[in-house]
A and B are shown apart, each in its own frame.
Chain A
């Protein structure tokens, strides 16, 4: 009878983490920013149909980077979780924290028990009544959750983009300033991003509709970016 080779748990975890990180680093990045008029979500995404940013519930949005089929499966699970919860209890009982914990459980479970970890990073954003109440949950491939209160950067090249965001961010930015900060941080000094390279959405704080999520179309994105681009 053959014995399986012994591999140290540290090594297994490291290999899996490297594998997931490599997969995520191949994809383009996404930034979530807390702004005056709501939470702005900005992703570099040349596709107009395969989306990285979506609506989950009245005041909750989802952002995913990495492998599309994997984060899209998680997005749909999130919509289902939220709609089921709102249906069995009440719409106001649906919150981002509970959903972020569910995602973390799920990703953690898969990371430790399955052959292949999920090559995704997620953002669960919720808009509050004022900017202090906005929440950004950043969830990693291994189930680590980070609660961020100014901005979140997910995906490839996140460190450099975070550094640029640090320099560009200030509390109380209006939508246009927040969008431009996010786009400049995503692009870096050597590139220009155009409206068609971007996917932009906002959770509007003072929306007259129950559902606060709104997607900007290319024309609106161009207008927000200004005539310089």
Chain B
């Protein structure tokens, strides 16, 4: 691999995708024709809290009516202060995240400064728009993007549509097949200035209810010990919640649900 040098008129600047396009075009993903049943990732949610944003996603990928993966990761760090969660065709989505992460890192290294949160959100918007031809073939990718905005000193979250439309939400967002159910749970349980713990519990409950009503969303797998991936983004950056903590919170939620729905002794009056 040679040293990529360009004359000033043809220089790709800090844009990694145009660099790949000039230096190694075959490495970029292209649009497949009629891909058929490919794995699809399902439900992801995000809520803002007092300290930042919580981002969560279940672990199931489905191809048609089959479960193709039980441990898929849909929540990723985008850089140290932001995260991205994906729903839709798994292959292109993971590729998009990989390219997005690199895009941010590459910009930061070439320019010497990180992009603003707004700039990162717009960058992702362009990538989703670039995926439109593939989306028309059924390979839809719809991400959520969250991060801590150091200029405004608050967590922010963005959702997207297939065409790259970017919508900033001030409270919560959900994407994927179970988003209707998950979104409703969050809508009912949401309050402004929640703590991190309340935010995590709300996301857990939303994903559980989505899995309960949507066959493509995976619930907690107690046999294999598979739980959703939940990340918290605050002024200190992106951190993932420990699996043991998620397991414990799930257990508490299940206990609460059981005591709430158990039939009263002696039957109902």
B112 in contact (CB, < 8 A): yes
Do B102 and A83 touch (CB < 8 A)?
A: yes
The residue of chain A having its C-beta at the shortest distance from the C-beta of B99 within the complex is A87
Do B112 and A81 touch (CB < 8 A)?
A: no
Task: Say what secondary structure dominates the interface of chain B.
Answer: helix
> Would you give the shortest CB distance from B148 to chain A, in whole angstroms?
16
Chain A: interface size category: 20 to 34
B2 in contact (CB, < 8 A): yes
> Would you give the shortest CB distance from A176 to chain B, in whole angstroms?
25
Q: How far is the CA of A77 from the CA of B98 in the complex (A)?
A: 21
Give chain A residues whose Cβ lies under 8 Å from the Cβ of B4: 77, 80-81, 84
> Would you give the shortest CB distance from A92 to chain B, in whole angstroms?
15
A85 in contact (CB, < 8 A): yes
Question: Which of B16-24, B128-136, B158-166, B192-200 lies at the interface?
Answer: B16-24
Number of A-B contacts (CB under 8 A): 58
A135 in contact (CB, < 8 A): no
Q: Given A88-B27, A209-B80, A77–B109 Cβ distance below 8 Å?
A: no
> Would you give the shortest CB distance from B90 to chain A, in whole angstroms?
19
The residue of chain A having its C-beta at the shortest distance from the C-beta of B113 within the complex is A49
Select B2's contact among A54, A79, A102, beta carbons within 8 Å. A102
Q: Contact mask A93-118 → B, CB, 8 Å, 1/0?
A: 00000100011011000000000000
Q: Given A84-B23, A87-B20, A209-B80, A79–B109 Cβ distance below 8 Å?
A: yes
Tell me which residues from 41 to 63 in chain A have a Cβ below 8 Å from any Cβ of chain B. Answer: 51, 54-56
Give chain A residues whose Cβ lies under 8 Å from the Cβ of B58: none
Q: Given A78-B3, A80-B4, A102-B2, A87–B112 Cβ distance below 8 Å?
A: no
Q: How far is the CA of A102 from the CA of B1 in the complex (A)?
A: 9
Give chain B residues whose Cβ lies under 8 Å from the Cβ of A146: none
> Would you give the shortest CB distance from A45 to chain B, in whole angstroms?
13
> Would you give the shortest CB distance from B103 to chain A, in whole angstroms?
10
- Residues of B in contact with A (beta carbons under 8 Å apart): 1-5, 16, 19-20, 23-24, 27, 80, 98-99, 102, 105-106, 109-110, 112
Told that A54-B109, A83-B102, A102-B1 touch, could you supply 13 new A-B pairs with CB distance under 8 A? Answer: A54-B112, A77-B5, A79-B109, A80-B4, A81-B2, A83-B106, A83-B109, A84-B23, A88-B1, A98-B1, A103-B3, A105-B3, A209-B80
